[in-house]
Amino acid sequence: MPKQGAFTFVLHSHLPYCRKAGRWPHGEEWLHEAASETYIPLLNALTDLINDGVTPRLTIGITPILTEQLADPTILHNFEEYLDEKIVAAQADIDRLADVQAVWEAAQRAEAEPEPEPTPLLSSEELESLITKNDALLSSTAGDSPAPLHAGLLSATTVASADVAEIDEVVDAAAEEELEVEPELEEPAPLEQPDPHKAYLAQWYRDWYSMIKRSFIERYNRDIIGAFRQLQDAGYIEIITCGATHGYLPLVSRDSTIYAQIAVAVQSYERHYGRKPKAIWLPECAYRPAYYPEDRSETERKPGVEEFLEAQGIECFFVETTTIEGGAPLDKAEGKILGPYGDTLRKYVVPVTREVPPTGNSTLQPYLVGLSDKVAAIGRHHKTGLQVWSAEWGYPGDANYREFHRKDSESGMQYWRITGPKVDLGFKDYYHPDWINDKIHAHADHFTNLVHQVISEYRGQTGRYGLISSNYDTELFGHWWFEGVDWMREVLRRLAANPDIDLTTASEYIANNPPRESLNLPESSWGSNGTHQTWLNPETEWMWPIIHGAEKRMEGLVAAYPQTDGDLAEALAQTARELLLLQSSDWPFLVTTGQAQDYATKRFNEHVERFSQLADAIEANDLGLMRELTASFNDLDNPFPTIDYHVFAAREGLVA
């Protein structure tokens, strides 16, 4: 019996370039956390399914700049050190909590033991008798002896018979003298109470990180990218590409930048994965249609993004839900930033309105885009995406799942669970790993049933074989939602066995079900309100003239040196790297969100400065300085080792 429809997870894996640019809280540990909590667990989940006889299928994007970093020996060496540090930190908690337990138990035993009874005092008669016996013993063994040893004792007996008032006087004086000399003793600090559940969690984390390290070394031979490549070569997954450094394409000024971001991405993909990519996740799902520029001195028409993709052999990309269906922004694209930031007034080749009314189109079908008959767009499916993205309805908010935000002050381990939607961090309950298995299976069942329901209803209403593209940032799973990778594994297990649904990949679906209709897509992103405002606003607008100036300057360098080799060619290649790195959408994003504003500003300015210094040396024809700067900057910024600086040649209005 034919299947009713198809499903694919589409995962977008991306982190900023942070090699040798700090470790914590901003820098390489972003990579280490994602590798340990997301990428290796995902590899384990897929490998385990295959070992269980299940055929998992999914679409996963690994951005070129992330691929370059995950394949870098320095990053991988530091990652192994990071895992060792986490194991040591967990063990330190185990030891510390064991010491607390031991001290507590010793104190409890001491309290439980009965106090010894005091030795009874001798009466005057008993004391006199004892003295008499001792004197007799001493006189039988010695001749003339010194004063009896008990002389002082006899003095004490004499004092005992003194006047009571005199004794009181002596005691009071001694007490006063003691108060003057000896300070009053402080009350001892209360003992730290033992915490057996926290000790159990510390052991659990130590074992978990040890398992991740074993997987990295023994299962994947310290080669994360190679492990994903093997899964693609075996037909289980499709790896898709992205802009080389995640540059925000609609806001760059030169067509040379759009060409370079895609061309370098394709070259990097071929070098790491041994084939050309068929699909792409546009950075931030940001799309620019063709339009007529106000200044037409260089070109009458600026091509749409789909035209650049077609020139590179890419047949598919992904867009936000409302780009296909129209209407108001939904979940991922909803934002609370007010104002017209990102509104770009352009005269489009195919006119579109700024507000997109409902179209009647469906994200369950791909559509050819603009004037292209080869490039299709697939929209993010809202209803299934809501199950993970929504803070109110999503599975990750379950009370028993691990709390992301609270960390132990000494080890950094996350020992707590969400507990409830409005529970303050200080009142979170401890995490219970043994509680989550039932939740994972229940949520996997719910999601699978939802997918089946959506596919069945669409087939019943239209008679068509549709595709659910459920799109997420990969790092949501494992890093943010700790149990998310296990949930995804169980969803894939269930859908692989479902008689009505095909598990597929994006390009496979397009190949087997060519799009029937074309759409003229509006300029859009999956950022706040579906616009560019997350990347262009009063906090970030100062960056864009700098980026635009660097684009023009690089075109000038390529024109000045159309053919060269040796040190000059190396310097031009490093200049191209720095231009790609300063174009990253991560820098304005981190400034806007405030997540790492100072760090992002610093990183952007560093790449701008490196680009400028190299360009100055090249324009001055200072070969000595060129060599020095190229070596210094390449030690820090070494992605895309085979980059050809000619990708930045001026090409306004051209896509190849």
DSSP secondary structure string, 22-51? --SSSSTHHHHHHIIIIIHHHHHHHHHHHH
Tens digits of residue pLDDT in 35-85: 999 999 999 999 999 999 999 999 999 999 999 999 999 999 999 999 999
* Catalytic one of 429, 473, 570, 622: 473
Tens digits of residue pLDDT in 148-186: 333 333 343 343 344 444 444 544 554 454 445 556 667
Which structure tokens are listed for 554? 């690089």
Question: Is residue 25 reached through a cis peptide bond, with omega within 30 degrees of 0 on the bond before it?
Answer: yes
Q: Please identify, in words, the CATH class of the domain defined by 543-648.
A: mainly alpha
Please give the DSSP secondary-structure letter assigned to residue 652.
Answer: T
Quote helix, strand, coil % in the chain, to nearest 5.
50, 10, 40
- Nearest to residue 280, comparing CAs of 98, 86, 61? 61
* Catalytic one of 284, 403, 586, 637: 284
- Nearest to residue 321, comparing CAs of 276, 279, 371, 383? 383
Question: Is residue 120 reached through a cis peptide bond, with omega within 30 degrees of 0 on the bond before it?
Answer: no
For residues 646 and 558, the answer to whether their CB atoms sit within 8 Å is yes
**Active-site residue, 635 included:** no
Q: In 483-596, which residue ranges form alpha helices assigned H by DSSP?
A: 484-496, 506-512, 543-560, 566-582, 586-593
Q: How far apart are alpha carbons 513 and 6 in whole angstroms? A: 11
- Nearest to residue 309, comparing CAs of 374, 363, 244, 240? 374
DSSP 588-605: HHHHHH-SSHHHHHHHHH
- pTM comes to 0.86
**Active-site residue, 473 included:** yes
Q: What kind and span of H or E run contains 96?
A: helix 73-112
- Listed as ranges, residues in the chain with pLDDT below 70 are 115-124, 126-128, 130-185, 327-357
Q: How far apart are alpha carbons 653 and 255 in whole angstroms? A: 7
Q: How far apart are alpha carbons 504 and 608 in whole angstroms? A: 42
Give the CA-trace dihedral at 441, 447, 450, 455, to 10 degrees.
-120
Which structure tokens are listed for 449? 């049933």
For residues 19 and 25, the answer to whether their CB atoms sit within 8 Å is no
For residues 279 and 294, the answer to whether their CB atoms sit within 8 Å is no
Give the count of beta carbons closer than 10 Å to the beta carbon of residue 104: 15
- Nearest to residue 518, comparing CAs of 643, 359, 389, 390? 359
Give the count of beta carbons closer than 10 Å to the beta carbon of residue 100: 17
Which structure tokens are listed for 387? 């199950």
Q: What pLDDT is attached to residue 279? A: 98
Residue type, 104: W
Q: Does residue 176 sit in helix, strand or coil?
A: helix
The CA distances from residue 43 to 35, 87, 91, 209, in Å, are: 10, 21, 26, 15
- Nearest to residue 237, comparing CAs of 449, 49, 387? 49
For residues 50 and 228, the answer to whether their CB atoms sit within 8 Å is no
Q: What pLDDT is attached to residue 167? A: 41
Q: What pLDDT is attached to residue 160? A: 39
